[in-house]
Amino acid sequence: MAVIHRTTMQPTKLELLATWLPTRDWYTGREEGPSPAKAGGFRLDDPAGEVGIEFMVVTDGPEAAYLVPLTYRGAPLDGAEHALIGTSEHGVLGTRWIYDGAHDPVLVGQLYALLHGRAVAQAQSVNDTPDPTVSVTPDEDGDASGAADAELVRVTDRSDHTAVVVRASGAPEELTLRVRRVLRATEGDGLPGRAQVTADWLLPDGNTTRGAYISVDV
């Protein structure tokens, strides 16, 4: 179970994202520069208790909403320099290396488990509390035994999403998890795809909307 500390981070996550977002191909940009605001998301637990896992939604202006999966580590992740968003000094845990979680095998493994009913979305800011607003349509055609783990194969950024290709142990085929970087509201929880994660986020005007965060390509 992840423990959420009520403390400071310097620089803050939003300050790091304000620098990192403009470097992404899927960021639509604003003339006056980015000013991201936290607007929703959820967490997943690392069974080993070593890596913090958060799916954060940020808005930037009146229309754009982005999904940024984040991992927080106490040491650098080997071979993931390209995915490093930055480092921050945590008031309790010390230096934290913060990564674009789509490139982190721990986050990807737990996302795969979530899509197969073997992990539970947790509230973003409350310890040990499932988030009932996160809806998961499980992958009924995938592994249901609970035995398979997912190996991260490759990650490719697209114009509005990141394609995360995984292979479950013993599976004959690769599977693509589509992390929707640019979020769009949808009616209900139905979008094309074999499985998906749907959740809320807060609009700049104070209203709440809903859409798919992640889906599995057919």
- Full pLDDT tens readout for the chain, 218 residues: 565 656 778 999 999 999 999 999 999 876 677 889 999 999 999 999 999 999 999 999 887 899 999 999 999 999 999 999 999 998 777 899 999 999 999 999 999 999 999 999 999 988 889 999 999 998 766 554 444 688 999 999 999 999 999 998 777 789 999 999 999 998 655 555 578 999 999 998 999 999 999 999 75
Phi, psi of 18 (to 5 degrees): -60, -30
Give me the residue spans of the domains in the chain.
9-216
As a whole number of angstroms, the distance between CA 25 and CA 162 comes to: 10
As a whole number of angstroms, the distance between CA 171 and CA 98 comes to: 31
Kindly tell me the number of DSSP H helices and DSSP E strands found in the chain.
2, 12
Query: pTM for this one?
Result: 0.91
Torsion over CA of 216, 28, 57 and 134, rounded to 10 degrees?
-30
